[in-house]
Amino acid sequence: MTHMEREQIRWEVADGIATLTVDRPKQLNALDRRTLEEIRGAIDEARRSPGQIRALIVTGGGEKAFVAGADIAEMSRLGPGEAREFAALGQATLAALEALPIVTVAAVNGFALGGGCELAMACDLVYASERARFGQPEVNLGLIPGFGGTQRLTRRVGLMRAKEIVLSGETLDAARAVAAGLALEVLPADRLLDHARTRARTIASRGPAAVALAKRVLQSGADLPLPAALDLERISFAGLFGQAEAREGMAAFLEKRPPRFTGA
Protein backbone atom coordinates (compact mmCIF):
# COMPACT_ATOMS: atom_id res chain seq x y z
CA MET A 1 0.00 0.00 0.00
CA THR A 2 1.31 3.48 -0.86
CA HIS A 3 0.24 6.91 0.37
CA MET A 4 0.97 10.32 -1.13
CA GLU A 5 0.27 13.33 1.08
CA ARG A 6 -1.30 16.45 -0.38
CA GLU A 7 -3.02 19.39 1.29
CA GLN A 8 -6.49 19.32 -0.27
CA ILE A 9 -6.91 15.67 -1.28
CA ARG A 10 -6.01 12.25 0.07
CA TRP A 11 -4.53 9.74 -2.34
CA GLU A 12 -4.17 6.04 -1.63
CA VAL A 13 -3.25 3.10 -3.83
CA ALA A 14 -3.85 -0.45 -2.64
CA ASP A 15 -4.00 -3.65 -4.69
CA GLY A 16 -4.23 -1.75 -7.96
CA ILE A 17 -7.15 0.44 -6.84
CA ALA A 18 -6.50 4.17 -6.31
CA THR A 19 -8.80 6.22 -4.08
CA LEU A 20 -8.89 10.01 -4.48
CA THR A 21 -10.66 11.73 -1.59
CA VAL A 22 -11.36 15.44 -1.83
CA ASP A 23 -10.60 16.43 1.75
CA ARG A 24 -11.72 19.95 2.71
CA PRO A 25 -14.57 19.04 5.06
CA LYS A 26 -14.82 22.52 6.61
CA GLN A 27 -15.49 23.88 3.10
CA LEU A 28 -17.68 20.87 2.23
CA ASN A 29 -14.87 19.80 -0.14
CA ALA A 30 -15.41 22.81 -2.41
CA LEU A 31 -13.16 23.04 -5.45
CA ASP A 32 -10.74 25.95 -5.51
CA ARG A 33 -7.76 26.28 -7.85
CA ARG A 34 -5.41 24.41 -5.53
CA THR A 35 -7.80 21.49 -5.14
CA LEU A 36 -8.31 21.22 -8.90
CA GLU A 37 -4.54 21.27 -9.43
CA GLU A 38 -4.06 18.50 -6.86
CA ILE A 39 -6.82 16.42 -8.47
CA ARG A 40 -5.16 16.91 -11.85
CA GLY A 41 -1.83 15.78 -10.40
CA ALA A 42 -3.41 12.60 -9.05
CA ILE A 43 -5.09 11.92 -12.40
CA ASP A 44 -1.75 12.34 -14.16
CA GLU A 45 -0.14 9.87 -11.74
CA ALA A 46 -2.86 7.32 -12.50
CA ARG A 47 -2.28 7.84 -16.23
CA ARG A 48 1.47 7.34 -15.81
CA SER A 49 1.01 4.11 -13.82
CA PRO A 50 -0.37 1.51 -16.25
CA GLY A 51 -0.50 -1.91 -14.66
CA GLN A 52 -0.04 -0.47 -11.16
CA ILE A 53 -3.31 1.49 -11.02
CA ARG A 54 -6.14 -0.40 -12.70
CA ALA A 55 -9.13 1.56 -11.33
CA LEU A 56 -9.81 4.89 -9.61
CA ILE A 57 -12.45 5.71 -6.99
CA VAL A 58 -13.35 9.36 -6.34
CA THR A 59 -15.13 10.35 -3.12
CA GLY A 60 -15.40 13.13 -0.53
CA GLY A 61 -13.99 13.48 2.97
CA GLY A 62 -16.30 13.85 5.94
CA GLU A 63 -19.93 12.82 6.17
CA LYS A 64 -21.75 15.73 4.54
CA ALA A 65 -20.30 16.25 1.10
CA PHE A 66 -18.85 14.55 -1.94
CA VAL A 67 -18.02 17.99 -3.36
CA ALA A 68 -20.49 20.75 -2.57
CA GLY A 69 -19.41 22.85 -5.57
CA ALA A 70 -16.73 25.29 -6.61
CA ASP A 71 -15.30 27.52 -3.89
CA ILE A 72 -17.63 30.53 -3.92
CA ALA A 73 -15.33 32.58 -1.67
CA GLU A 74 -12.61 32.28 -4.31
CA MET A 75 -15.00 32.75 -7.25
CA SER A 76 -16.46 35.94 -5.82
CA ARG A 77 -13.12 37.68 -6.36
CA LEU A 78 -12.77 36.75 -10.04
CA GLY A 79 -13.19 39.01 -13.01
CA PRO A 80 -14.30 37.70 -16.44
CA GLY A 81 -10.77 36.86 -17.59
CA GLU A 82 -9.90 35.07 -14.36
CA ALA A 83 -13.24 33.24 -14.48
CA ARG A 84 -12.42 32.00 -17.98
CA GLU A 85 -9.11 30.62 -16.71
CA PHE A 86 -10.84 29.00 -13.72
CA ALA A 87 -13.40 27.33 -15.99
CA ALA A 88 -10.61 26.19 -18.31
CA LEU A 89 -8.77 24.61 -15.36
CA GLY A 90 -11.92 22.83 -14.20
CA GLN A 91 -12.81 21.62 -17.68
CA ALA A 92 -9.27 20.39 -18.39
CA THR A 93 -9.11 18.54 -15.07
CA LEU A 94 -12.40 16.74 -15.65
CA ALA A 95 -11.52 16.00 -19.29
CA ALA A 96 -8.31 14.36 -18.07
CA LEU A 97 -10.33 12.29 -15.59
CA GLU A 98 -12.79 11.25 -18.27
CA ALA A 99 -9.96 10.28 -20.65
CA LEU A 100 -8.19 7.91 -18.23
CA PRO A 101 -7.88 4.44 -19.82
CA ILE A 102 -9.03 2.78 -16.56
CA VAL A 103 -12.45 2.61 -14.97
CA THR A 104 -13.31 5.55 -12.72
CA VAL A 105 -15.98 5.23 -10.03
CA ALA A 106 -17.61 8.11 -8.15
CA ALA A 107 -18.75 7.18 -4.63
CA VAL A 108 -21.07 10.12 -3.92
CA ASN A 109 -21.38 10.26 -0.15
CA GLY A 110 -23.19 13.60 0.26
CA PHE A 111 -23.70 16.89 -1.58
CA ALA A 112 -22.62 16.71 -5.25
CA LEU A 113 -23.60 20.18 -6.35
CA GLY A 114 -22.20 22.39 -9.09
CA GLY A 115 -18.58 21.36 -9.57
CA GLY A 116 -19.26 18.25 -7.48
CA CYS A 117 -21.99 17.08 -9.83
CA GLU A 118 -19.64 17.84 -12.73
CA LEU A 119 -16.86 15.82 -11.08
CA ALA A 120 -19.17 12.83 -10.63
CA MET A 121 -20.34 13.03 -14.25
CA ALA A 122 -16.74 12.86 -15.48
CA CYS A 123 -16.48 9.38 -13.90
CA ASP A 124 -17.54 6.21 -15.69
CA LEU A 125 -19.76 4.83 -12.93
CA VAL A 126 -21.61 6.74 -10.20
CA TYR A 127 -22.96 5.21 -7.00
CA ALA A 128 -24.76 7.28 -4.37
CA SER A 129 -25.35 6.99 -0.66
CA GLU A 130 -28.78 7.66 0.77
CA ARG A 131 -27.46 11.07 1.88
CA ALA A 132 -26.36 12.11 -1.62
CA ARG A 133 -27.81 15.20 -3.27
CA PHE A 134 -27.13 16.14 -6.89
CA GLY A 135 -27.67 19.42 -8.71
CA GLN A 136 -26.37 22.33 -10.74
CA PRO A 137 -27.51 25.28 -8.61
CA GLU A 138 -25.37 27.94 -10.32
CA VAL A 139 -28.36 30.02 -11.44
CA ASN A 140 -29.02 30.73 -7.76
CA LEU A 141 -25.73 32.67 -7.83
CA GLY A 142 -26.46 34.40 -11.12
CA LEU A 143 -24.09 32.00 -12.91
CA ILE A 144 -24.18 28.88 -15.09
CA PRO A 145 -22.16 25.63 -14.80
CA GLY A 146 -18.59 26.12 -15.99
CA PHE A 147 -16.82 22.77 -15.60
CA GLY A 148 -18.84 20.91 -18.26
CA GLY A 149 -22.19 20.68 -16.48
CA THR A 150 -24.35 21.99 -19.30
CA GLN A 151 -22.85 19.48 -21.72
CA ARG A 152 -22.22 16.29 -19.72
CA LEU A 153 -25.58 16.63 -17.96
CA THR A 154 -27.40 16.83 -21.30
CA ARG A 155 -25.59 13.72 -22.49
CA ARG A 156 -26.41 11.87 -19.26
CA VAL A 157 -30.07 12.72 -18.75
CA GLY A 158 -31.34 14.25 -22.02
CA LEU A 159 -31.89 17.87 -22.98
CA MET A 160 -35.27 18.48 -21.34
CA ARG A 161 -34.26 16.97 -17.97
CA ALA A 162 -30.97 18.86 -18.10
CA LYS A 163 -32.85 22.10 -18.68
CA GLU A 164 -35.07 21.40 -15.68
CA ILE A 165 -32.08 20.71 -13.42
CA VAL A 166 -29.92 23.63 -14.60
CA LEU A 167 -32.64 26.27 -15.03
CA SER A 168 -34.36 25.53 -11.71
CA GLY A 169 -31.16 25.20 -9.70
CA GLU A 170 -32.95 22.60 -7.57
CA THR A 171 -31.33 19.52 -6.08
CA LEU A 172 -32.21 15.86 -6.62
CA ASP A 173 -32.10 13.30 -3.86
CA ALA A 174 -30.33 10.01 -4.49
CA ALA A 175 -33.43 8.13 -5.70
CA ARG A 176 -34.33 10.89 -8.18
CA ALA A 177 -30.73 11.00 -9.37
CA VAL A 178 -30.88 7.29 -10.19
CA ALA A 179 -34.22 7.71 -11.95
CA ALA A 180 -32.79 10.59 -14.01
CA GLY A 181 -29.66 8.64 -14.99
CA LEU A 182 -27.15 10.55 -12.85
CA ALA A 183 -26.31 7.53 -10.69
CA LEU A 184 -26.61 3.76 -10.96
CA GLU A 185 -27.63 2.70 -7.44
CA VAL A 186 -28.42 4.06 -3.99
CA LEU A 187 -26.64 2.39 -1.09
CA PRO A 188 -26.54 2.79 2.70
CA ALA A 189 -23.76 5.21 3.61
CA ASP A 190 -21.76 2.51 5.41
CA ARG A 191 -21.77 0.28 2.30
CA LEU A 192 -21.03 2.86 -0.37
CA LEU A 193 -17.23 2.67 -0.51
CA ASP A 194 -17.18 -1.13 -0.24
CA HIS A 195 -19.61 -1.34 -3.16
CA ALA A 196 -17.53 1.09 -5.22
CA ARG A 197 -14.39 -0.94 -4.48
CA THR A 198 -16.12 -4.20 -5.42
CA ARG A 199 -17.20 -2.81 -8.79
CA ALA A 200 -13.76 -1.29 -9.35
CA ARG A 201 -12.01 -4.60 -8.53
CA THR A 202 -14.30 -6.53 -10.85
CA ILE A 203 -13.52 -4.30 -13.83
CA ALA A 204 -9.82 -4.08 -12.90
CA SER A 205 -9.64 -7.89 -13.19
CA ARG A 206 -10.65 -7.80 -16.86
CA GLY A 207 -8.28 -7.38 -19.79
CA PRO A 208 -6.82 -3.87 -19.34
CA ALA A 209 -6.32 -3.20 -23.05
CA ALA A 210 -9.87 -4.31 -23.77
CA VAL A 211 -11.28 -2.18 -20.93
CA ALA A 212 -9.36 0.89 -22.13
CA LEU A 213 -10.45 0.42 -25.72
CA ALA A 214 -14.07 -0.38 -24.86
CA LYS A 215 -14.24 2.79 -22.76
CA ARG A 216 -12.80 4.89 -25.60
CA VAL A 217 -15.16 3.39 -28.20
CA LEU A 218 -18.21 3.86 -25.97
CA GLN A 219 -17.35 7.50 -25.26
CA SER A 220 -16.32 8.42 -28.79
CA GLY A 221 -19.13 6.51 -30.45
CA ALA A 222 -21.79 8.24 -28.36
CA ASP A 223 -21.14 11.50 -30.23
CA LEU A 224 -20.89 9.94 -33.71
CA PRO A 225 -23.60 9.00 -36.23
CA LEU A 226 -24.36 5.29 -35.93
CA PRO A 227 -22.59 4.18 -39.17
CA ALA A 228 -19.38 5.95 -38.12
CA ALA A 229 -19.67 4.56 -34.60
CA LEU A 230 -20.05 1.03 -35.98
CA ASP A 231 -16.97 1.55 -38.15
CA LEU A 232 -15.04 2.59 -35.04
CA GLU A 233 -16.24 -0.50 -33.18
CA ARG A 234 -15.33 -2.86 -36.02
CA ILE A 235 -11.84 -1.46 -36.47
CA SER A 236 -11.18 -1.46 -32.71
CA PHE A 237 -12.51 -5.01 -32.31
CA ALA A 238 -10.27 -6.30 -35.08
CA GLY A 239 -7.19 -4.53 -33.75
CA LEU A 240 -7.31 -6.42 -30.45
CA PHE A 241 -6.78 -9.72 -32.27
CA GLY A 242 -3.14 -8.77 -32.78
CA GLN A 243 -2.50 -8.42 -29.05
CA ALA A 244 -1.30 -10.99 -26.55
CA GLU A 245 -4.10 -10.06 -24.15
CA ALA A 246 -6.81 -11.30 -26.50
CA ARG A 247 -4.88 -14.48 -27.27
CA GLU A 248 -4.55 -15.17 -23.53
CA GLY A 249 -8.21 -14.41 -22.86
CA MET A 250 -9.50 -16.75 -25.58
CA ALA A 251 -6.99 -19.48 -24.69
CA ALA A 252 -8.05 -19.31 -21.04
CA PHE A 253 -11.69 -19.65 -22.03
CA LEU A 254 -11.00 -22.70 -24.20
CA GLU A 255 -8.80 -24.26 -21.51
CA LYS A 256 -11.41 -23.56 -18.83
CA ARG A 257 -9.06 -21.57 -16.57
CA PRO A 258 -8.90 -17.97 -15.33
CA PRO A 259 -7.06 -15.65 -17.70
CA ARG A 260 -3.70 -14.21 -16.65
CA PHE A 261 -3.78 -10.60 -17.82
CA THR A 262 -0.44 -8.90 -17.19
CA GLY A 263 -0.36 -5.92 -19.54
CA ALA A 264 -2.00 -2.52 -19.35
Residue 264 has pLDDT above 60, yes or no: no
The continuous run of DSSP H or E covering 174 comes out as helix 174-180
Percent of the chain with pLDDT over 90: 95
Mean pLDDT confidence for 16-45: 97
pLDDT of residue 153: 98
pLDDT of residue 263: 63
CA distance 159 to 36: 28
CA distance 187 to 177: 13
Mean pLDDT confidence for 206-227: 97
SS3 149: helix
Residue 58 has pLDDT above 50, yes or no: yes
Mean pLDDT confidence for 139-162: 98
Beta strand 185-187 pairing with 111-113: unpaired
Residue 259 has pLDDT above 50, yes or no: yes
- Residue 138 designated active-site: yes
**Per annotation, catalytic residue among 74, 82, 85, 118:** 118
| Domain limits, the chain | 2-204, 208-254
* Band (159; pLDDT cuts 50, 70, 90): very high
* Band (61; pLDDT cuts 50, 70, 90): very high
pLDDT of residue 50: 84
| Helix axis angle, 208-221 to 244-254, nearest 10° | 110
**CATH of span 208-254:** 1.10.12
pLDDT of residue 40: 97
CA distance 11 to 118: 20
**Per annotation, catalytic residue among 45, 74, 138, 248:** 138
pLDDT of residue 5: 58
CA distance 207 to 55: 12
* Cα end-to-end span (Å), the chain: 20
Mean pLDDT confidence for 100-110: 98
What is the chain's mean pLDDT, rounded? 96
* Band (55; pLDDT cuts 50, 70, 90): very high
pLDDT of residue 262: 81
Task: Classify domain 2-204 by CATH architecture.
Answer: Alpha-Beta Complex (3.90)
The two domains 2-204 and 208-254 share their CATH topology (first three levels equal): no
Strand arrangement of the beta sheet that strand 111-113 belongs to: 65-67, 111-113, 133-135, 171-173
Residue 54 has pLDDT above 60, yes or no: yes
Residue 165 has pLDDT above 90, yes or no: yes
- Residue 118 designated active-site: yes
